[in-house]
Structure 1
Amino acid sequence: MRVLVVHNQLWAHYKSRLFSDISQVFRRSYPESEFLVAQIALYEASRSVMQNDNAVVYEYPYQVLFERSLDSTATGERRKALFKVFNEFKPDVLNITGWGDMAQVQLMFYARFKGVKVVISSESSSLDHSRSSWKETLKSFIVTRANAFFCFGKTSADYLESLGVKPKDITVRKAAVVDEEVIRRNFENAKKRRAAEQTGNAARKFVYVGRLAPEKNLEMLIRAFSNVHKNADPETVNWQLLFVGDGPERQRLALLSEELKISNQVIFAGGFPWYEVPNWLAQSDVLVLPSKSEPWGLVVNEAMVCGMPVIVSDKCGCVADLVENNTNGFVFNPEKQEELEKALLFFINNPEKIKTMGAASLVKIKPFSSETVAAQMVETYKKLAKA
């Protein structure tokens, strides 16, 4: 069995964890097989900071086609490089990344012409963008040429089915993985340090992690926190709102906090690499992701791996799989501030629920284990190669 995976960029830490686990499954269960990841480029321009990410370990066979940013590669040169690696590797199974790159789509049709089975990995859902009918028709024509599909979760599986994909062909439905081992280890170490250093009654924290950008709906989060904080019992409320990340909205959000007279309760920590985020989660109690649009929201996975309850907008793709109201957190409409306020107030008034709801998060996140997903993917490759 020879499996070729095409991926956009080398510096994508969670995909590197997944590819490493896939490679381990091959070495352990199918040592005679060949597995190769063709990384089109090193990075996307918006993520060039990952060049300095020394925490990522690449324990899988890969080949970088262009030693520069993905954004600087033209469709024609990508197509030429992909066809070259395909013809040299001679795979039995080709796994491409989505259908947005025409070079990969053309490679898919070429592979099918050659009798090679094709898997499409999809992160898209009906939530992330507005759709036009002619584009959906084109997508349906493209995706239904594949033999199997891996998707992030229920919303992406539902979207594939709306395009005409048969449910039985979606063989992996929980592929939104993070590097749970590194995240959990760093979180636990940070918790221990915090416990040793902490004195007195420290404030509890709601935490947001991500870009400070308009689509993240952070103004509403600050206004909701302000209302809840001001209306809560001053004798018992001792909560802060922590922002971990940076972006174009930072200054405006800071000014809003001052205007609402809650600047002492709102903390802007700045941006940090992914492996340092658990240090901030360890100082926090409840994750909030209020986005107006979010294909998935991997930070929810990260928080749940750390045993935290979550409050998540219903426009985030992960909610159908990961968030259950009153069990491990709450889902709210990002257009209705009062729903968010109700969720924030629940934890302020019931801090004893944080631990039990965090434990529920650990249970719900288990099916998204990178090792579990890797094994499912390899089994799909095996079945396709034998068919």
Structure 2
Amino acid sequence: MRLAVVASHVIQYQDPFYRRLAAHPDIELTVLFCSAEGAKTYHDVGMGTTLRWDLELLQGYDHRFLRNFGWGEGFFRLVNPGLVPTLVRGNFDAVLFMTGWAWLSAWIGFAACRVARIPIFLYGDSSYVPDEKSVRAKLRAAVMRALFGMTSAFMISGKLNGDYYKHYRADPRRFFPLPWAIDNERFVEGSAFAPGERDAMRERYGIAHDELAVIYSGKLIERKDPMTLLRALARMTHPAIAVFLGDGALRADLERYASHGLPASEPPSFPVSQEAGRPGGSAKSRAAFVGFVNQTDLPKHYAMGDAFVLPSHFDPRATVVNEAMACGLPIVITDRCGPSADIVRHGENGYVFAPGDDAALATHLDALARDAEMRARMAQRSREIIATWSYAEGVDGVAAALKSIAGGEQT
């Protein structure tokens, strides 16, 4: 069957999925990108960094870039009128919107599908129902119910995502799995160390042998609340160091807190890099700021750690959790991170705590620090769980959704 995917831009996590989807014998795939962002060097606003992915992208599937007339960062960021003739004349059996509904282009596409009577498949990461007390919120809810009423298939990225659709009266019989996944194999293979390599890497970042190395990966922004991790470390009774992979607006504040607000660990028995050192002092700070790490180097940066923490106040996707699990880390995240309902299981492969609760986070990290055997068990469970949360399940889900509309039963 002929399937069009409407994608906002080139996303490094989705690109391998498209290759696998295109390889399915019953699917003829065309990916329509509303923007060229991600395919070349670009400035990531949240990260505050200009970057280019060091991966081979856009290989193994048919795709095209549509001209974008959008502006700004909001609803009008993507405006692609070319979607109308492309979809109407494309003879597609279904259109999968990987855009969700956050941009004007998605609604242009929905309208084109309705005119051409093409089944609509929806995919997104919405997981938490917003407050619906205001008139505006009630109008939005009515629009959501109308959109979901004309949707032929909901590609479910996780349990909370399914609950979100149910709240707006979506029909669960039209739910099909499409986990928000990563290239698990690449991260597993990339996290393997040669003899002595892990110790050398930890030494490079000033991680002492007896310290719990806690990895944080992502933008250093308010929503992800990295400061709670530093506050938790200040409460811990066991030696620990936070290693921040990423950049953003809060970096300077975090560095100041790490330099002046945290007690220093004992000086290590080896030289400490300037990046990990406490300015003007001989003792090592309990935080290292690595900055942006590109995709090929990322797996080993996870695997050099002992645990992963994401203290976000709101993070429905949190793909970094998948990455850390594939690299074999215990996971500690808040209950406002989407993976807390699916792949992070409290007491099994990590812990779940309330946003902003640095005392609870410190307790969980101390438990991990004092029990190496438990860390190893949780690390193994992380790899076992994430192995079942993969592109393969998503390809099967899309194939099942296409089968459900074969013969024109739905429009």
Short-chain TM bin:
0.7 to 0.9
Instruction: Summarize deviations over 1:43-64 as a string: whole Å, max 9, x none.
Output: 1765487873231332211111
User: Aligned-pair distance for 1:341?
Assistant: 1.4
**Which residue number corresponds to residue 21 of structure 1?**
20
Do residues 213 (structure 1) and 205 (structure 2) align?
no
Aligned partners of 2:88 and 2:112 also within 8 Å: no
User: Aligned-pair distance for 1:69?
Assistant: 8.3
**Which residue number corresponds to residue 161 of structure 2?**
156
SS of the residue corresponding to residue 89 of structure 1 reads coil
Aligned partners of 1:16 and 1:56 also within 8 Å: no
Which of these residues, 103, 106, 110, is aligned with residue 104 of structure 1?
Answer: 106
In 2, the alpha carbon distance for the partners of 1:50 and 1:22 equals: 30
SS of the residue corresponding to residue 311 of structure 1 reads strand
How many equivalent pairs are there? Answer: 372
User: Aligned-pair distance for 1:325?
Assistant: 1.2
Structure 1: tracts of 5 or more residues without a match: none
Aligned partners of 1:190 and 1:282 also within 8 Å: no
CA spacing shift, 1:22–1:163, aligned 2, 3 Å: same
Instruction: Summarize deviations over 1:171-225 as a string: whole Å, max 9, x none.
Output: 11x5211121222221114787326878994643011101111222222211111
Q: How does 1:160-199 map to 2 (within 5 A)?
A: 160-172=165-177, 174-189=178-193, 193-194=197-198
In 2, the alpha carbon distance for the partners of 1:349 and 1:371 equals: 37
**Which residue number corresponds to residue 269 of structure 1?**
290
In 2, the alpha carbon distance for the partners of 1:50 and 1:376 equals: 35
Structure 2: tracts of 5 or more residues without a match: 265-277, 279-284
Which of these residues, 24, 27, 35, is aligned with residue 29 of structure 2?
Answer: 35
CA spacing shift, 1:115–1:355, aligned 2, 3 Å: same
Aligned partners of 1:43 and 1:70 also within 8 Å: no
CA spacing shift, 1:329–1:72, aligned 2, 3 Å: closer
TM-score by length of 2: 0.83
SS of the residue corresponding to residue 81 of structure 2 reads helix
CA spacing shift, 1:225–1:130, aligned 2, 3 Å: farther
In 1, the alpha carbon distance for the partners of 2:338 and 2:182 equals: 15
User: Aligned-pair distance for 1:140?
Assistant: 1.5
Aligned partners of 1:8 and 1:70 also within 8 Å: no
CA spacing shift, 1:51–1:36, aligned 2, 3 Å: farther
**Which residue number corresponds to residue 374 of structure 2?**
353
Do residues 226 (structure 1) and 230 (structure 2) align?
no
Indicate the structure with greater helix content.
1
SS of the residue corresponding to residue 38 of structure 1 reads strand
In 2, the alpha carbon distance for the partners of 1:244 and 1:82 equals: 37
In 2, the alpha carbon distance for the partners of 1:332 and 1:246 equals: 24
Percent identical pairs in the alignment equals 22
Which of these residues, 277, 282, 296, is aligned with residue 303 of structure 2?
Answer: 282
Aligned partners of 1:41 and 1:69 also within 8 Å: no
Which of these residues, 118, 131, 136, is aligned with residue 120 of structure 2?
Answer: 118
Q: Higher mean Cα deviation, 178-187 or 294-303?
A: 178-187
In 2, the alpha carbon distance for the partners of 1:193 and 1:212 equals: 28
TM-score by length of 1: 0.88
Instruction: Please tell me the root mean square deviation across aligned C-alpha atoms, in Å.
Output: 2.7
